[in-house]
Every structure is written in C-alpha cells, then in structure tokens.
Amino acid sequence: MGSNIETRPSLSIPGADGAPNGPLASSEGFQRHLAGLVALSDKISDIIFSPGKPPQVELNGSLRAARTPGLEALTPEDTAAIARYLTERNAVAAESLAEKGSADLSYSVGEKARFRVNVFRQKGVHAVVLRVIPVVIPTFEQLLLPAELRHVAELKNGIVLVTGPTGSGKSSTLAAVIDQINDTRSDHILTIEDPIEFFHRHKKCTIHQREVHTDTPSFSLALRAALRQAPKVILVGEMRDVETIEIAFEAAETGHLVLSTLHTIDASKTVDRIVGVFPKSEEHIVRTRLAQTFRYIASQRLMPRADRKGRIAAIEILKSTIRTREYIEKGEREGKSLVDAMNDGDTDGMQSFDRVLERLVRDGSITVATALGYSTNRNNLLLNLHDVAGAEEAEA
C-alpha cells in the first residue's frame, strides 16, 4: 500500500497487505497507515479524515491530499471505522461521541507517533482530526523561543499564560518550559490536561500528569485537589471557566507557579477575556487579582516562512512591571495601553506582535504580505515597513 502527498513520489506504508479497504480493514492496519502518513514529512501538523475526500495532511500550514490506493475518497463507513478504532479502548470518549456528538482523546501508535484527537459527527457522519504531537519534547532552541521566556523556569509563584489560536504552538511552548524546569529544579510538577499531550519523564523534578475524563472529571476538580498534593508547579491545559480561573488565582496567591493557556489573539484580549468571564460587579477585584498574580502573558501567531520550508512563530510578550500592573488593574485608556507598554518595554524583555513581525520581515524570515496578514495594526506596520514593502513590490 503506498501513499503520496499530491504529486510527490509514492512512499510505502509498512505492513500493507492489500486486503479489502486496505489500511482500514483492522485496527492494526489503521495504525500502520497513521504511522505511514506521519512518516511522509516531519512538517505535518494535522491529519484529517473526512467523507468524500482522501486522507489529508496539513503541511507547513496548508492542507494537502495524501493519496492512498483504495482510499481515493473516504466513505462514511471508512470514517466510522476510523472513529471506532480510535475510541474502542476509551470508554469515556466512546460515550461522549455517542451522546454529545464529539470526543477529545489522545492516541498513540506505539512509540512511533502520538496524536491529540477530536472525533465528531457532521451531516450525520463521522469526521476525524488528529493533531500530531512530537514524540520528543521540543527545546527552546528548536522552537526559536525568545530568551526572555527562559526566566519562567525561575519563577516560584504567579500565573504564566500562553495564548493564541488553535494550532499556534501553545502546548509545545509550555512543554519546553516544563522540560526546562525539570532540568533545572528539584520540585513536584503536576499537569492537568485534556488530553495529555507530551509525556514528561522524571528528571530532577517529580512529574505527575492527570488527564481530564480519565484521571479526573474536570479541570476545576483536579486543580482544587492539586492544592492538597504539594506541587510547586501546576500546568492547567486550558482556563475554560470561572471556577478554574478562580482556583488558579488562589493557587498563585498561595505560592504556586501556575502555567496555562487561553484561546485569545493577544495580551490585551487575554486580560479582557479573563475579566469578562466574571460578573461585571466583580471586575475591579478580578483586575486587581490578575495584576498581582500574572507574571507573563505570551501570545503566539504561527505563520509560513518566506522560504516555504516551514513555519515560524511570532511571540508577543507582556511582563509584569509596575506599569503593566497599573494598566491591568485600572484598565487601558488613550496613551496607556498594554501595547504601548510592550513597545516601550524592550529592556524588560517585552515585545509586541507588530515589532516582532517587523523584525522577522527585515531579517528575511517572512514576507511583508505575511506580516501584514498577521499584524495587530496593519496600517502602522505598513508605514514602518514602507522601505521593505517598496522593494518587494519592485521585485514582483
């Protein structure tokens, strides 16, 4: 059984036996097929199985067909079989899929590949999206993370948030931070995830990883229990509700370092999101607690490189200083915005998205068009890049 991405040369998938339905004839065949798809390129971030289409992979941010003999167009029966293989050993996921129409879970193909999976129903049939999780925990150097974020591993308390849209690399960044703490400190680390993504082994630290729905019913219950389990560092996969955020505040205020994520596009929107979750009558106290407990808000946007050989992250960094704490507590206003503070905060290790994008354009990492597409203030960035933009237009 072979597979190729569009017009690329066919790559053999080990263990193919030519049976009817090929790789979908059995759970073992499906696992071999998954391993073969991942082996097509180390730049694949997602795999999608959808009725009416061949298996698809997201490569460097673009969705492409991975054509496989016998699977030129998946049928509803094919995707139902895939859903069954993925959930057959996970009763909670199978029940969620049956009752709620979707399920989140993790899935492994031995030691070859790991995935964060969402199985769901659409138009009455199943579809599946698998996010590829690197088997090896990425390093700061591999992710090209700003040096300022290394200081997170030195923090003893407070809240550190990594934000961005789905697929922007938040989990990878936090995994690199946890791994650095594991290398440099002797502490108890507890993670609460849905599902567990990167597997961390004990190094200098002792690490316990709890999976929502498997080891605990919810983030909030696990986080509440964590306060009695003596961790120094707590990673919460996502701040999803008022109760989880409230307990995270409490944990930070009682001497824990709390790391978590939010699906927000930048630092300012992250503050708005947290404050907005609570009743309006509590806004002042929430702003005060956030100002006192946050240490960093790092927001990520993942974009294609100019050479099309992968993607690169632009990372905005908001750091706790007298000025940023004031703006969070009292609210932003004309001339006193968090973006202003980040633009003026180079010496403190802060940086705004548009400053990072300008730098990436000038060093040739991304194009002007890409930068403008991902910018916070397009007109201001275009003005700052007028010399480079003119040169690109002339070349075109």
Task: State how far the Cα of 39 lies from the Cα of 3, in Å rounded to an integer.
Answer: 10
The strand pair at 294-304 and 56-59 is best described as unpaired
Q: pLDDT class for 20, splitting at 50, 70, 90?
A: very low
**pLDDT higher than threshold 90 for residue 195:** no
Task: State how far the Cα of 357 lies from the Cα of 313, in Å rounded to an integer.
Answer: 10
Handedness of CA 338, 339, 345, 348 (dihedral sign): positive
pLDDT of residue 9: 32
Task: State how far the Cα of 158 lies from the Cα of 133, in Å rounded to an integer.
Answer: 28
Query: Could you tell me how far CA 254 lies from the centroid of its own chain?
Result: 27
Domain boundaries, the chain: 2-133, 140-351
Phi and psi angles of residue 234, each rounded to the nearest 5 degrees, phi first: -125, 125
Q: pLDDT class for 7, splitting at 50, 70, 90?
A: very low
CB-based contacts of 230, cutoff 8 Å, min separation 6: 188
**For residue range 208-244, what is the model confidence (pLDDT) as tens digits?**
999 998 899 999 999 999 999 999 999 999 998 999 9
pLDDT of residue 2: 46
**8 A C-beta contact, residue 90 and residue 108:** no
DSSP 26-39: SHHHHHHHHHHHHH
Task: State how far the Cα of 322 lies from the Cα of 336, in Å rounded to an integer.
Answer: 13
Task: State how far the Cα of 74 lies from the Cα of 365, in Å rounded to an integer.
Answer: 38
Top-confidence residue, 349 or 110: 349
Top-confidence residue, 39 or 205: 205
Report the share of the chain in percent with pLDDT over 90: 79
Prediction pTM value: 0.86
What is the mean pLDDT of the segment spanning 35-61? 92
pLDDT of residue 30: 93
**For residue range 150-178, what is the model confidence (pLDDT) as tens digits?**
999 999 999 999 999 988 999 999 999 99
Question: Prior bond to 195 cis, omega within 30?
Answer: yes
Span 2-133 CATH architecture: 2-Layer Sandwich (3.30)
CATH fourth-level superfamily of 140-351:
P-loop containing nucleotide triphosphate hydrolases (3.40.50.300)
pLDDT of residue 236: 97
pLDDT of residue 390: 64
**pLDDT higher than threshold 60 for residue 347:** yes
pLDDT of residue 340: 96
**For residue range 84-142, what is the model confidence (pLDDT) as tens digits?**
999 999 998 999 999 999 999 999 998 888 999 999 999 999 999 999 998 899 999 99
Task: State how far the Cα of 144 lies from the Cα of 366, in Å rounded to an integer.
Answer: 14
Task: State how far the Cα of 26 lies from the Cα of 3, in Å rounded to an integer.
Answer: 18
Task: State how far the Cα of 305 lies from the Cα of 294, in Å rounded to an integer.
Answer: 32
Task: State how far the Cα of 194 lies from the Cα of 189, in Å rounded to an integer.
Answer: 17
**For residue range 360-392, what is the model confidence (pLDDT) as tens digits?**
999 999 999 999 999 999 999 999 998 887 656
Residue 3, SS3 per DSSP: strand
Q: pLDDT class for 393, splitting at 50, 70, 90?
A: low
CB-based contacts of 235, cutoff 8 Å, min separation 6: 174, 178, 189, 190, 191, 192, 193, 258, 259, 260
Question: Nearest-5° angle of CA 290, CA 292, CA 295?
Answer: 80
Q: Which residue has the tokens 């999101």?
A: 273
CB-based contacts of 313, cutoff 8 Å, min separation 6: 143, 144, 145, 168, 169, 300, 301, 302, 303
Top-confidence residue, 1 or 300: 300
**For residue range 253-310, what is the model confidence (pLDDT) as tens digits?**
999 999 999 999 999 999 999 999 999 999 999 999 999 999 999 999 999 999 988 8
| Lowest mean pLDDT segment, chosen from 15-29, 53-67, 185-199, 323-337 | 15-29
Residue 46, SS3 per DSSP: strand
**pLDDT higher than threshold 60 for residue 6:** no
